[in-house]
Amino acid sequence: MAAMMRLDKLLGHCGWGTRRQLKELCKNGNVLVNGRACRDSSVKVDPAADVISVDGEQVLYEQYSYLMLHKPAGVLSATEDRHSQTVLDLLPRTYQGAGLFPVGRLDKDTTGLLLLTNDGKWSHRITSPKKHIDKVYEATVDGIIPEDMEEQFQAGIMLADGLQCLPAHAVQTGANTVEITVQEGKYHQVKRMCAAVGLTVTALHRRSIGSLQLDSCLQPGSFRTLTEKERELPFE
């Protein structure tokens, strides 16, 4: 049998409000458990078996969520911020109480594939440099692309502050575009690697993580859940 949990905890996880708001909702008879009004928000329910609804809307509980977001420019890869919009602000209410966080960070001006989850183990498997997962970026650059750029990246770039990067790939894809593949996620890594070879990044877009590509149907700012198969693609 699945673990029992408090009704208010389950509803909070699904974005139905704070503990106090849920107490009120229950008291007022808005919450049904298996078709009957449940006026006590502290009762234990079985998320796998009990049918729960609020104001006639069925509550679908999932312990873990796995989302792919097309991150737009101008939004922070954070869970909350007093001044700027965050990637969490782009999600609907049903994801607001589930403890989601971004899997690694993209800079505020970087666009593209950002994963969100509340599964710490899955996130760690993706972000740990020890797992050698390729993250592929398209960088638009200012400056003269050096002829030996590929070799410099392959040898491992030394950043301006002396930090040594792991070997990476850099391939020129257009007059001022470069495709860069890295397996780590140091602060401003791609921008600083480019700076080390004399290039200024003017736009940066992440296309893929392992074999998981950004869905081309997703407009900037929109998201979708990953299928079970897609959850394994970062590791392939």
188 binds ligand URA (CB under 6 A): yes
Note if 148 is an active site residue: no
**Tokens 């298996």 label which residue?**
34
Count of residues that interact with ligand URA, criterion CB under 6 A: 8
52 binds ligand URA (CB under 6 A): no
65 binds ligand URA (CB under 6 A): no
Site string for ligand URA, 105-134 (x = CB under 6 A): -xx--x------------------------
Q: Which is nearer to ligand URA, 32 or 204 (CB)?
A: 204
Q: Which is nearer to ligand URA, 99 or 221 (CB)?
A: 221
53, β-bridge pairs: 32, 58
Site stretch for ligand URA (CB under 6 A), options 6-14, 84-92, 104-112, 223-231:
104-112
Active site residues: 107
Q: Please give the residue ranges that form the binding site for ligand URA (CB under 6 A).
A: 106-107, 110, 188-191, 204
